[in-house]
Structure formats: structure tokens, C-alpha cells
Amino acid sequence: MSRIEACFAGLSGRKAMIAYITAGDPDPACTVTLMHAMVAAGVDVIELGVPFSDPMADGPVIQRASERALAHHVSLRGVLSMVSEFRTGDARTPVVLMGYLNPIEVLGYGAFARNAVEAGVDGVLTVDMPPEEAGDYVVELQTAGLAPIFLIAPTTTDERVAKICALARGFVYYVSLKGVTGAAHLDVVGVTEKVEQIRHHTSLPIAVGFGIKDAAAAAQVARVADGVVVGSALVQLIEGSSDGGAAVRSVAARVREIRAAMDEAAA
């Protein structure tokens, strides 16, 4: 059983909290500390962003995080080194890389997949790799033991939902809004309807993200989804912190707040 499968299987009625940070933000030395602090505060799955110069799916908060990380020359190989360091103290928590295809293509699908598994990565969400073109890529990921994770949007047709679910492993990621990360207002009714539609096509857990701004929104989503993804709200705290230590404390406190709201909603 993979770490992602074991995580969801062991929730015992709880809903998974999936937390996103950008690797290397606010500085490379802080990332692993942030990862451990989030787990200690209640995060079940870490979504680690690979900084990229043109993050088309991300709103301004995460765009700026990528810029800060790139200013520190954080590369894909550097991100894998961070995961490897994290694994020396945590062999259990799933780590999913979220990023874009270009750095992976530079490294090569096979080499990337092998290096990611060796570092301790469990899944990969490649935002700009459409499932229709992902055949060779998915084969390399699955052969190495990585879960390919795909996004489903509010506008995704039922036919395409079925195709995406057939390729997906680990969990399915539903984008709760039409837009970039951290944008717009959460439509809980719409999320509920789409999650129900997706469940007709897969037995995988369904996580919801992109519009979860606070504990109240996370609690609402926790009532209908298997996992809640929180990203921009945490990255914004990092951006507003005076230093790395303050960033760790602020993020851990917000995670505890969201975790408590999710648990109360699930109960």
C-alpha cells in the first residue's frame, strides 16, 4: 500500500488536510522545517510546489512565492533534495509535487520519476499536462511507483471526468472554482454536486482545493469531500512574515485552526 493510500485508509472518519507550500519560500533552509511543522499541526498530505517562472494555474499569491523561491535559485533537483531531507525525519506523510511540465521534460520523464521516488515523493500533479497527452508520462510515473494526480474543473464534462479518473491514482483533485488558485468565492452547492458526479467514476478519494481561504470554508468542504487542499491562505502568511521562524509559527497556527474546524465538521 502506498503512503497516499495508507493515509486515506487510516483517517478513521477524519478528512484529509492537504497543505500546499512553495518549495524554497521564504528561503530554501526553511522548507523542511515548514513541512515538519505542518505535519505536527495536523496536515495529512503535503503538496510541495515546484517553483516555475510561468505558473499559469496559480494566482498572484503563489506566483510571488515562485518568484521568491526562484530568486534563491531553487530548482527541481533542489526540491527533490528537500523531500529527501524531510524523509530522514518523516517516513509516513505523503508528499505530492505540484508543478509544471517544462522542468520535468528537461530532466526526462524516466529520470524524473526515478529520482522522485528515490527522494521519497509519492505523487505528482503536473498542471499543464492534459490527460489526453499524458500516456507516456503516466506510464513512467506508475512504473516508478508514483501516483499521477489530475485536476478536474467545474467545466469538465462527464465524459472527460471518466477519462481523467481512469488515469488517476492516489486521489482526484477537484478545482472548486473557475479561475486560478486563491481566487473567487467558494460555491459549496456546486462543489457538492460535482463531487457527487466524480464519485460515479472513481473509488479514489476526492480532494477539493483552489478556493479554500479559511477555516470556515475548509469545514464546509470537509462535509462533502475526502480531502481539503489549503494553499494560498498559507502562502500568504509566509509572505507576510518577518522571517522564516515567524513563517513557521504562523503557518502552524493556521493549520491547527483549520484542522480543528475540519474535525468538528466531520464529527
Active site residues: 47, 58
User: DSSP label at 132?
Assistant: G
Residue partners of 47: CB distance under 8 A and separation at least 6: 18, 19, 20, 21, 96, 97, 98, 125, 229, 231
* CA 33 and chain centroid, separation: 18
Residue 90 identity: D
Contact, 134 vs 166, CB < 8 A?
no
Distance between CA 148 and CA 74 in Å, rounded? 23
Alpha-carbon torsion (185, 26, 129, 122), positive or negative: negative
Contact, 22 vs 235, CB < 8 A?
yes
